Structure 1
Amino acid sequence: MPIQTVTINTTTASLDYYLIAFDADGNERREADGFISQKLVDILSTQAITDVFFISHGWLGDVPAAKKQYHNWIKAMAESQADIQKIQELRKSQNQEFRPLLIGLHWPSKPWGNEDLNAEPTSYDTSGTKLNELIEEYAQDVADTDAAREALGTIFTASIEYSIPPDNLPPEVKAAYEVLIKEASLEGDENDSESSILEPDAIYESLIAQEESEEIRFAIGDAPKSKKNTFLDFLGYLSYWKMKQRARHIGETSGFNLLTKLQKAAAETTRFHLVGHSFGCIVVSSIVAGRKNSKLVRPVNSLVLIQGALSLWSYSSNIPRRVNLAGCFSSVINDRKVVGPIVTTRSIHDNSVTKLYPVASVSGRFSGQDIDFAAPLESEFPEYGSIGTFGIQGIDEMTSLKMYPSEKPYNFQSGKVYNLESSEFIRNLDGGKDADAHNSIAKPQVAHAVSSAAFGS
């Protein structure tokens, strides 16, 4: 169902958004009555829409998880009545009546997840499925190579042999995981040039202990789980590189084309605001940047990166300790592809981007890039870290602020970059202790920052 309704508080008030879904190759999925993109074009062509909010979820998100996250995000924004009133007054001063259009972009980022737009979630296991077919299915979401398929065969055989997972990884299974980690990392193509030092024994032991360490999750919903089969649980995490690659590919192709189509249909006064979370920040950044020499119809009006799982140097024209290497999204800054503010959030309580991201991204291969190891790292920031930990770095001008309470105005300025230290609000207290806060973003203070970015455009 393309139109999703969000109920606000306990009242009868509601707000609709459009869910537009792509398959793993970036093809838009057709609904029974046509493509959602055409419906959106028709709306923008015939209605006086003032603001389009284009939102993308992150890693390990299937359809049910995406719907849940978009519901929570949009509900938080809709319940910020003071912000809605402010933008209404702002648009009125511009001789417009505030009329938003909300779009949730779904891209399949959860291995073997539920991609039925109407079905309930299901689990995955090996029962009743031919082994070769299962290997092929898993290879598509981890690494599409012969070496990966051979390793998957070893893992599936062990998952059948061991009805009760052993305390330690059997040597042949550990070797198979090491192959998969290598193959998965080599398939990534982001020019940060990433590889892995993930240790199979450590991850396996954490799963055996049922800790499912929050340091190895970017999930927007539940982590991928089999029917208590630890060997298969492990495989979900090895989709890191595949899904990161997919996020960028879908953003710079299908997402870029969709936004271009919508901008052409809309009035010149219609503003476009892009919001991403986790790997969704790669999606929206790729939409804005496009491929080399590609340009949107006009710059977008604001860009918000919430706990971004992408390199802190992604927007830099000169990555530290690299020779003549720019970040993959440096054109967003250099070519003024966002005319309004660019806003990021970061939190010390987000264990996913603080701990997993640098581990999964530390260089073990460099794809032929010229790296100057002799050059000192003249920065207080590390080579490998995420925007969700450090904000955007390596640009000429940016402003660091603490995230404000909902009632305090920001006064964001057009064309500026703002990194918001958000630990006070992006936090997940569980029994008095801090748990991973990567997904604790449906907060009024976060919604206030998103709305304020729209004000500043």
Structure 2
Amino acid sequence: MAGISTRKFTIMAVLWPSKKFAEKDLIPSGAAGAESPVTNDLLRQELEEMKGVFDDPHADAVLDKAKLLVPKLEDSPKVRREFTDLLRSILPKETSVDIDASSDFLKLPGDEVINRLSKPVPIVESKPIPSGGAAAIGGDPSASMGGAAGLIQFFSGIKSGVLNLLNYLTYYEMKERSGIVGSTGVNQVLKKILAQNPDIKTHLIGHSFGGRLVTAAAAGSEGRLPVKVSTMTLLQAAFSHYGFSEHYDGVNDGFFRRVIINKTVTGPIVISCTRNDKAVGKMYPLASLIAGQIAAALGDKNDKYGGIGRNGAQKTPEASEGILLNLNSQDPYQFQPGKLYNLNSDAVIKDHSDICHNEIAYAIFNAVAKT
């Protein structure tokens, strides 16, 4: 490939304490199918499997206390408040902003959180379209979903609301951790590397919460300046589709908008997105439930609460729509510096972690070649 063949590359990996869930964790014990009730045993099992996920030193003891409350959850709003408050007590202070109803989740009475998460989710069906429309919410529970945050099939009822609560807790922990690791740790490492090697070009690639991590690394934070990089590729990234947006609600910009305004990424930003990503695709409908906003098409590109790995960057003037090309495509990528490219990947990526494809590498190398 022109612009690539004569270059030398060094690959550096970021090892950080992320939590990847297998398919059996996304559909706990394989038991939470559309016709299978959520049982007390299932909830206790989920709480047990959450041990080791949270940073709070008392987290495992709190999870044990929560297990004792499970049999009383259906019958007592007071117990539901106690249960939710217990679990929220082990979460870190919110530092990583997202459009995900976190403020509602942290402030609402605990029983109200569970009540909202207990409501059924409308099933929205649509045919695949290049721009990434609404997925079939509540699709085949046997489909492999990869590992964003233990996100699962939706059902109605108090116990299902509790199960949704556990999934949102894990999402929140991973959101915070990836943002902190990126904006503080990786940001500083990149600056040191570039200070010693000012002529090298840096290309960031992140999958799932790793997408948030690398974006936060480039963006920096209060007290930590951004770091200039050459390209960024976000593979099924787990943050809001309004992350890079301009005035997504008519007033406010997305929380990573400064990456675009400050031209932190000098080359292209490539984004894979697909309706097949059930993990990211179902996280943001949880936020809609928590916010009490039941839309007709939960989690799609027209919903306030949608994921970039599902829909691409929305309400972002610098973004354009395209598809993930195969190696023999007659119409090559026309990537330009400073632009974002939402590459619909329905034909290639079949679930959240299905990213090891030649087509992905081809897109990355095409972006790199433009720098």
Distance 1:278 1:111, change over 3 A: closer
5+ unaligned residues in a row in structure 1: which ranges?
1-85, 113-133, 160-165, 204-210, 224-230, 366-378, 428-436
Q: Give the AA of the match of 1:311.
A: S
Shift of 1:410: 1.0
Distance 1:381 1:111, change over 3 A: closer
Residue aligning to 1:308: 237
1:291 paired to 2:208:
no
Question: How many aligned positions are there?
Answer: 299
Root-mean-square deviation (CA, aligned residues, Å) is 4.3
The one-character-per-residue Cα deviations of 1:42-97 (angstroms, maximum 9, x if unpaired) are xxxxxxxxxxxxxxxxxxxxxxxxxxxxxxxxxxxxxxxxxxxx1xx4256xxxx4
Distance 1:256 1:108, change over 3 A: same
Identity of matched residues, %: 27
5+ unaligned residues in a row in structure 2: which ranges?
22-46, 106-112, 121-138, 152-161, 293-299
Q: CA separation in 1, counterparts of 2:239 and 2:301?
A: 18
Distance 1:275 1:142, change over 3 A: same
SS in 1 for 2:181: helix
TM-score, with normalisation over the residues of structure 2? 0.66
1:250 paired to 2:178:
no
Shift of 1:300: 0.8
SS in 2 for 1:401: strand
Shift of 1:442: 0.7
SS in 2 for 1:438: coil
> Is the Cα–Cα contact under 8 Å of residues 119 and 289 in structure 2 kept in the other structure?
no
Q: Give the AA of the match of 1:310.
A: F
Distance 1:385 1:214, change over 3 A: farther
Residue aligning to 2:337: 414
Distance 1:385 1:111, change over 3 A: closer
The one-character-per-residue Cα deviations of 1:325-380 (angstroms, maximum 9, x if unpaired) are 33221110000001100111111111111122331466649xxxxxxxxxxxxx97
Distance 1:352 1:100, change over 3 A: same
- For the pair shown, which has the larger CA radius of gyration, 1 or 2? 1
Shift of 1:424: 0.7
Select which of 253, 260, 264 maps to 2:195: 264
Distance 1:385 1:142, change over 3 A: farther
1:348 paired to 2:275:
yes
The structure carrying a bigger strand percent of its residues is: 1
Residue aligning to 2:147: 219
Q: CA separation in 2, counterparts of 1:253 and 1:293?
A: 10
Shift of 1:110: 2.2
Residue aligning to 1:386: 307
Q: CA separation in 2, counterparts of 1:280 and 1:291?
A: 17
Q: CA separation in 1, counterparts of 2:95 and 2:225?
A: 21
Residue aligning to 2:18: 109
Q: CA separation in 2, counterparts of 1:387 and 1:181?
A: 27
Shift of 1:412: 1.0
Q: CA separation in 1, counterparts of 2:53 and 2:339?
A: 40
Shift of 1:295: 3.3
Q: Give the AA of the match of 1:288.
A: A
Shift of 1:173: 7.5
1:141 paired to 2:141:
no
Shift of 1:190: 2.8
TM-score, with normalisation over the residues of structure 1? 0.55
Shift of 1:382: 1.7
> Is the Cα–Cα contact under 8 Å of residues 326 and 359 in structure 2 kept in the other structure?
yes
Q: CA separation in 1, counterparts of 2:196 and 2:64?
A: 49
> Is the Cα–Cα contact under 8 Å of residues 252 and 287 in structure 1 kept in the other structure?
yes
